[in-house]
Structure 1
Amino acid sequence: MGEAHGFRSPPQVAAPESAMSVVAAFLYHEGKRLRPVTLIDPACEHIAKDDFVWIGLSQPSETELADIAGNYGLHPLAVEDAGNGHQISKLDVYGDQLFIVARTAHLEGDHIAYGSTAIFLGKNFLITVRQGSARSHSELRAHLEITPDLLREGPDYVLHAILDFIVDGYFPIVEAIEEDVLKMEQRMLAAFLTREEVTRIFTLRRELVRFQRVLGPMLEVGRKLVNLQLPRLDEASKPYFRDLLDHMLRVESAITGIRDILISVFEASHLLEQQRQGAITRQLAAWAAILAVPTAIAGIYGMNFENMPELKTQWGYFVILGVIAAVCIGLYIRFKRNHWL
């Protein structure tokens, strides 16, 4: 199916519904769009075996969900889950129908916002219900419509295309966070991390942990699509779902790698900070030792004792200055060789 986020969609013809929640609703014949349908149009009762209806809804009302459930015989529990935008990813079988919930994700600043897409797959129909998703399926539908050979394969191939489109939407999130983390790693090597940057590290780590929790059930859905015998899925579609599962595993691996980098950035920054503080401490100790020599000698000769024979020495002043200079220079050279200065 290719990278869905790279599609460029032509102008979309709107379905003949007054409700804005109906994004598109069409009957497809031999992979080509035949005509629009309505939510209460009993299209599946009067179409050919190889034709199917694809309906896309966004934030539908309870009335619209009830209409489409009654028309297509959808299970009430599945309809209830489809109206819940916070449902975890899952795959359920209701008779000869499949019901799948897939979590969508998009970046909002440093935070990952989530939505959901519920998918009903039955005899000659596929219905999607988007809740809180930032990416419309219009570009995906347009891409598939210009490649009718894929649409001709049936709604199970459309199911794969939708799930692949959702999973492909994860990659820009991972890539954007990874780029920020790598830049943060470079800054860490040059200077101390600021309080804001440390806070951001923990914010990104928290978002990635949450992302992994969302991805876990999605992986389970992918494994079921690959390994189980499910109604309405052609055996020939299994390789496509294996490719989908591989994409999910790549996302999971990338998230794990970014989390490891974040931890290493924080730990390395902490170690470098300790190292720099140790270097500063050694420098201060070295200079203190050097300055202690003239201080000690000056302190001895500043005690004003009368019985100090050196006080009457003619060249004593210059001798003491020479001793101070020699000892200080010797200490400086010693500390320099030991890389304390």
Structure 2
Amino acid sequence: MTIIAARRYAPDPAGRSAARVPGPLDLDEGFSPVPDGAFDWIGLCEPSHEEMDQVARHYGLHPLAIEDALNPQQMPKVDQYQKHLFVVARTATLEPGETLVYGQTAFFLGADFVISVRFGSNRAHLGLRATLEADPERLAEGADYVLHAILDFIVDGYLPIMDQLESVAHAMEEAAIDVFPEQQTIRRIFRLRRQLRRFERIVGPMEEVCERLAETEVALIDPTARIWFRDVLDHVRRAMARMRGLKETLAAIVETASLLEQHRQGEMTRQLAAWAGLLAVPTAIAGIYGMNFDFMPELKWHYGYFVVLGVILTVCGGLYWRFRRIGWL
């Protein structure tokens, strides 16, 4: 069976701490019932239908919940069944090439058990389990605290993704200030925006899931445990806020770059117009003298050449001063 870990935790006589019961938890047909105050924590990774049916018989899981748990394309949700609570969460991983890959982790929460069914995620819960086992006082709070811990572990995985994408977006934003983005960069921006829209569609409902667990009365969630789910809700909201801000940044990069490019083109156009105006004066005067008429008074004037040069220099100097003053040169 694709069981990553199957362990039982029992409280001390005072009920202030819980410790792992030694030995593996046997899930065959003759497994021992869960004692009062204890709970089982089962971690499954991509189980088959037969393996899932075996676990379902032991813990009385609802067939509809089993069907949803084995479908890795479910949206995040919370369903209340008669004997257990069913929660679906979505995981996300940023792969090379800035591609977001999604997985699914489904939870069955009962009075004396919590079962996680993981698909498509490489972030195992073994490290989290070791951390919780090292804190027996928290572990004594029961299976609902374990559910909170795993949800918090999943949601915290969103933040590094936002960190990496924000670094990419800020680098492109700085580059766009100096030069208009190339086609390759623009295509990259639109790919990232498409990835973020998909992230919002797939992971966005996690906010509603955590809000329901934190703000409403849900069976099998102790009212004193809601504060822990509020912390998860805060992390989800923070990740989604950063995602929306990142979408706005990517959208603004192209818009801002276009405005800056228009400004740069406007400056170049003004400079070209200014130089064209300067060249127009000698061109016009030279064009007049190039008409080859015989009767032109200036042609016989001894100082005409120097006067014409002086006029050209004076007019061009005045135009140059004027263009410099208005910022065209």
CA shift at 1:178, angstroms?
1.2
Partner in structure 1 of residue 62 of structure 2: 75
* Structure 2 counterpart of 1:252: 240
Matches within 5 A, 1:1-341: 19=1, 21-30=2-11, 31-34=18-21, 35-40=23-28, 43=31, 46-108=33-95, 109-341=97-329
Q: Distance in 1 between matches of 2:263 and 2:122?
A: 46
Please, what TM-score do these two structures have when normalized by structure 2? Answer: 0.94
Query: Which is worse superposed, 48-57 or 254-263?
Result: 254-263
Q: SS state of the match for residue 209, structure 2?
A: helix
Give the C-alpha shift of residue 39 in structure 1.
Answer: 3.5
Per-residue deviation, residues 2-26 of structure 1 (Å, max 9, x unmatched): xxxxxxxxxxxxxxxxx4x211111
Q: 2:15 matched to which residue of 1?
A: none
Give me the CA root mean square deviation: 1.4
The alignment partner of 1:87 has SS state of coil
Secondary structure at the aligned position of 2:221 is classed as coil
Give deviations 1:218-266, integer Å, cap 9, x for gaps. Answer: 1111121123322211111011111111111111211121122222222
Q: How many residues align?
A: 321
Shift of 1:134: 2.4
**Maintained 8 Å contact 1:96/1:232:** no
- Deviations 1:167-203, CA, capped at 9 Å, x for gaps: 0001101111112111221111122211122122211
In 1, are the aligned partners of 2:60 and 2:83 still within 8 Å (CA)? Answer: no
Percent pairwise identity: 51
Letter in 2 for 1:296: A
| Unaligned ranges ≥5, structure 1 | 1-18
Q: What letter is aligned with 2:232?
A: L
Unaligned runs of 5+ in 2: 12-17
Tell me the residue number matched to 2:14: none
User: Matches of 1:90 and 1:172 in 2, distance apart?
Assistant: 24
CA distance in 2, matches of 1:281, 1:243: 56
Shift of 1:150: 1.2
Task: Please state how far the C-alpha of 1:42 moved relative to its aligned partner.
Answer: 5.4
2: CA distance between counterparts of 1:103 and 1:39? Answer: 27
Q: Is the 8 A contact 1:226 1:242 kept in 2?
A: yes
Runs of 4 or more, structure 1, over 4 Å off, are none
Contact residue 90 and residue 217 of structure 1 kept, 8 A: yes
- TM-score of the superposed pair, with normalisation by structure 1: 0.91
